[in-house]
Amino acid sequence: MAAPSSDAVASSGPARIRDADRTRAEILDTAAREFAEKGFDGARVDEIAAKTRTTKRMIYYYFTNKDQLFVEVLERAYTVIRSLEQDLDVDHLDPAEAIRQLAGLTFDHHESHPDFVRLVSIENIHRAEHIARSNALSNLANPALDVLTRILARGREAGQFREDVDALDVHMAISAFCVFRTANRYTFNAIFDRDMLDPAFRDHHRRMVADMLVSYLTAR
Amino acid sequence: MAAPSSDAVASSGPARIRDADRTRAEILDTAAREFAEKGFDGARVDEIAAKTRTTKRMIYYYFTNKDQLFVEVLERAYTVIRSLEQDLDVDHLDPAEAIRQLAGLTFDHHESHPDFVRLVSIENIHRAEHIARSNALSNLANPALDVLTRILARGREAGQFREDVDALDVHMAISAFCVFRTANRYTFNAIFDRDMLDPAFRDHHRRMVADMLVSYLTAR
DNA sequence: CCCGTAATGTACGAACCAGTACGTTATTTG
DNA sequence: CAAATAACGTACTGGTTCGTACATTACGGG
């Protein structure tokens, strides 16, 4: 209910009372969790505020409105994933092995960032209207795509890979598999009684995407 | 579209003023479109009612509340897909060709039922809580799975298919690909500037799922 | 042909919820 | 150190939205 108004909180070096960056970041964190949990329309600004050490007023102070808050949540979520993708260095590997590495990395990303997958699902229900409103996102290239393009070129030159696929096709196929496990986990489990995220399947599925793509690319 | 309920609607005069079946069906149709369009929380009961030839009162008369309405929308959506799947008869085909047929059918289903794909996405955001509340859905087996099981068994017996995959794995892989094209269409297009549902890619993608699965299953 | 009930319509309410008006305190800058 | 301003809090509002109380009409069984 009412916050303890007893000031003089000073006591043992409390965190700075005014810290715009921290407050802003805390709102974004909480909002990301809340949006991922309940969806855009299901999430409540009041609830986000309550789960923060600040107030609803601050959300509007920093983010203008609920839509803009979601835009920045998405921007941050995509940025995290992208920065991880940039660490990928497979130019020295055999093309097939490079594909395996890329698939594995993508698999791991999605497995360890379920909230990201949910946020993307939610944004798709809204027809990507928030991404469209974000300069940061609509102009952001995907480093994984460049990597993929080079791998495919090398594979084709070596006569190993088929010619009728481009990087986006391969990226789509890998993403589809990885996204599906998380995004459709609940209905799949309800209907087929199998939890796709059960650790028992993890390694099997991880090998499966890689095998699928490599066998497809190398099929004559 | 919807077939008139029981009998021939008495002559050509004004439609029957009282027709429970028709009213109920019209509500379900409209609700399905509205939920698919806006999501569960984004959809408005008042809006659904307005797009119907009846009133909001009737929605509550037949469906108790918004959640139950969504449950029945899902039941109907799944039933439509399932009934189409049952027409599949591939037991006389070569296992690889049978897989191609199944993948193609699944592909076509998803391509021609985008609303179904969206409803499933929405239900996953809600952690399949509505399906859990539906006896019809949580006890409904998937005919495509039985078909798949038989295909795989034949393929293995013939020494053509690998042994370390089960029907659910294959179903998952095919669904993932087909669902992704529709479910993640908007964010994919916003970020990569490629509309996965562009007719120009249709045949290519359709062949791609089938090839991916067959090459994977037959890989040594 | 009449009456019970299934089917339908109208109007309303209570809760909820995004967003704001207004006031206060800390921090920075000149 | 004073004045400006950035950061923050409280309390409220106006519109929305699910759901319902109450009234009414068509239809079918007896």
CA of B16 to C1' of C7 (A): 12
- A-chain residues within 8 Å CB-CB of B184? 120-121, 124, 175-176, 179
- pLDDT at position A142 is 82
Q: How confident is the model at residue B16 (pLDDT cuts 50, 70, 90)?
A: very low
CA of A56 to C1' of D11 (A): 12
Q: How confident is the model at residue B9 (pLDDT cuts 50, 70, 90)?
A: very low
- pLDDT at position A12 is 29
- pLDDT at position A177 is 98
Give SS3 for A102: helix
- pLDDT at position B11 is 34
Can you tell me the distance from the alpha carbon of A183 to that of A196, in angstroms, rounded to the nearest whole number? Answer: 10
Is the pLDDT score of B128 beyond 50?
Answer: yes
CB contact A188 to B (< 8 Å): yes
Tens of pLDDT along chain A (220 residues)?
333 333 333 332 333 477 889 999 999 999 999 999 999 999 999 999 999 999 999 999 999 999 999 999 999 999 988 887 888 899 999 999 999 999 999 999 999 999 999 999 999 999 999 999 998 998 887 888 999 999 999 999 999 999 999 999 999 999 999 999 999 999 999 999 999 999 999 999 999 999 999 999 999 7
- A-chain residues within 8 Å CB-CB of B181? 172, 176
The residue type at B125: I
CB contact B187 to A (< 8 Å): yes
CB contact B124 to A (< 8 Å): yes
Using the C1' atom of nucleotide C16, identify the protein residue whose alpha carbon is closest.
Answer: A44
Can you tell me the distance from the alpha carbon of A117 to that of B174, in angstroms, rounded to the nearest whole number? Answer: 19
- Judged by C1' against the alpha carbon of B53, the nearest nucleotide is C8
Q: How confident is the model at residue B208 (pLDDT cuts 50, 70, 90)?
A: very high
Lowest mean pLDDT among A81-95, B11-25, B57-71, B125-139: B11-25
Computed from CA positions of residues A11, A13, A17, A22, in that sequence, does the dihedral angle turn out positive or negative?
A: negative
For strand D, list residues 66-85 of chain B whose Cβ lies within 7 Å of it: 66-67
Report pTM: 0.92
- pLDDT at position A41 is 98
- B-chain residues within 8 Å CB-CB of A188? 172
Computed from CA positions of residues A100, A104, A110, A113, in that sequence, does the dihedral angle turn out positive or negative?
A: negative
Can you tell me the distance from the alpha carbon of B55 to that of B23, in angstroms, rounded to the nearest whole number? Answer: 10
A51 touches strand D (CB under 7 A): no
Computed from CA positions of residues B128, B129, B130, B133, in that sequence, does the dihedral angle turn out positive or negative?
A: positive
B22 touches strand D (CB under 7 A): no
DSSP state of A90: -
B26 touches strand C (CB under 7 A): no
Query: Hey, are the CB atoms on B172 and A196 less than 8 Å from each other?
Result: yes
The count of other CB atoms within 10 Å of the CB of residue B213 is 23
Distance from CA of A11 to the nearest CA of B (A): 44
Q: How confident is the model at residue B112 (pLDDT cuts 50, 70, 90)?
A: very high
Distance from CA of B22 to the nearest CA of A (A): 29
Is the pLDDT score of B92 beyond 80?
Answer: yes
The count of other CB atoms within 10 Å of the CB of residue B163 is 8
CB contact B200 to A (< 8 Å): no
- pLDDT at position A2 is 31
Q: How confident is the model at residue B81 (pLDDT cuts 50, 70, 90)?
A: confident
Q: How confident is the model at residue B1 (pLDDT cuts 50, 70, 90)?
A: very low
Cβ(B217)–Cβ(B155) under 8 Å?
yes
C-alpha separations of A26 from A30, A48, A69, A182, B88 in Å: 6, 10, 12, 25, 53
Which among B103, B216, B217 is positioned nearest to B160, based on CA atoms? B217
Q: How confident is the model at residue B141 (pLDDT cuts 50, 70, 90)?
A: confident
- Residues 6 or more apart from A142 whose CB is under 8 A from it? A82, A85, A171, B191, B192
CB contact A45 to B (< 8 Å): no
- pLDDT at position B20 is 84
Cα angle at A109 between A108 and A114, to 5 degrees? 105
The count of other CB atoms within 10 Å of the CB of residue B217 is 23
Cβ(A113)–Cβ(A81) under 8 Å?
yes
B19 touches strand C (CB under 7 A): yes
- Judged by C1' against the alpha carbon of B21, the nearest nucleotide is C7
Give SS3 for B52: coil
Query: Hey, are the CB atoms on A213 and B215 less than 8 Å from each other?
Result: no
- pLDDT at position B84 is 78
Write the residue in B125, B180, B219 that is nearest to A172 by C-beta: B180
